[in-house]
Amino acid sequence: MKPLIEQLIAGGPVVTDGAWGTQFQVLGLTPGELADTWNVSCPGLVEDVARSYVDAGSRVILTNTFRSNRITLEAHGLAAQTAELNLAGVRISQTAADGGAFVFASMGPSGKLLMSGEVTEKQLAGAFEEQAQALAAGRPDAIVIETMSDLAEAVIAVRAAAATGLPVVACMVFDTGRNRDRTMMGNTPEQIARELVEAGADVIGSNCGQGIEGYVPVCRRLKEATDRPIWIKANAGLPELAGGKTVYTTTPADFASHVPALIEAGASFIGGCCGTTPEFIRAVCQAVRA
């Protein structure tokens, strides 16, 4: 195990951060606008979100670089800013953490599907290598590959991230099937555990796609399938549209009530994804301490 990961989990479950994207929407991010551009256009707002999680008790915060791979940026005409957006994202989180939290740099999916030929393995590898190196230049504490729906793409991203020498967290979305225990492409927790670890992930897990209650069985199966620590970031339930506004129905207290079961199922890192806020993280911290 990488020393940092070992050191982090030695004292029990580690609380990570909550959602960034849905927080940015509250702050005025418009549909279609790429949140990552805020790293350059309004870094103060990004830093506020990052600091709100540090203040709430997150021991690990991520970076606003989820979409900053060349393939996604190209679709917005921003490919030339790849290195700049990634580096700025790491710097902002480091400033907000100010030594009080570790900074794990975020990498998300390309948005293209390998299998239908929209993108090649070579293009993916190139884009993820470029992003991983750009993030690593800012010296984050680790890299997190998150919200992956396609194991083939996740494996390519993990290899690219592992090549930087930084600890790598890799997590997939389980949102398919009656029990929501498959990825979009049909992979099981056991399959993803095996392949992500083989590709070089130091921590594996799952984020997004469903509310926290569905994560307990997925977490248990991941834990049984590997000796690597497990990372879980659940949504505040599934979003609903009420009167033209996006609403997540799970409350911080509801969310935190599932934390003991997640810990029992083997989670070492616990945080929130879409719809969660600093209030959720405070509630999770309390549940973890209890």
Q: Which stretches of the chain bind other proteins, using CB under 8 A?
A: 25, 30-32, 75-76, 111-113, 115-116, 118, 149, 175-178, 182, 184-186, 238-241, 244, 246
CB of residue 31 vs other proteins: minimum separation in angstroms?
3
For residue 148, list its beta bridge partners.
Answer: 172
Nearer to other proteins, 145 or 185 (CB): 185
| Residue 4: its H or E element | helix 3-9
Nearer to other proteins, 70 or 112 (CB): 112
Chain position carrying tokens 């600093």: 278
Nearer to other proteins, 112 or 228 (CB): 112
Nearer to other proteins, 176 or 286 (CB): 176
Q: State which amino acid sits at residue 150.
A: D
CA distance 148 to 97: 26
In eight-state DSSP terms, residue 37 is G
CB of residue 81 vs other proteins: minimum separation in angstroms?
17
Nearer to other proteins, 113 or 263 (CB): 113
CB of residue 259 vs other proteins: minimum separation in angstroms?
25
CB of residue 114 vs other proteins: minimum separation in angstroms?
10
Nearer to other proteins, 51 or 221 (CB): 221
Cβ(177)–Cβ(201) below 8 Å = no
Nearer to other proteins, 1 or 115 (CB): 115
Residue 57: name the closest of 29, 94, 6, 16 by CA: 16
CB of residue 186 vs other proteins: minimum separation in angstroms?
3
CB of residue 75 vs other proteins: minimum separation in angstroms?
6
Cβ(216)–Cβ(254) below 8 Å = no
CB of residue 115 vs other proteins: minimum separation in angstroms?
6
Judge residue 120's burial from the number of C-beta atoms within 10 Å of its C-beta, 0-12 exposed, 13-18 middle, 19 or more buried: exposed
Q: State which amino acid sits at residue 135.
A: L
Extended beta strands in the chain, E state: 14-15, 60-61, 102-107, 142-148, 168-172, 203-211, 230-235, 240-242, 245-247, 267-272
What is the sign, positive or negative, of the torsion defined by CA atoms of 278, 280, 285, 286? Answer: positive
3-state secondary structure of 267: strand
CB of residue 238 vs other proteins: minimum separation in angstroms?
7
Nearer to other proteins, 19 or 262 (CB): 19
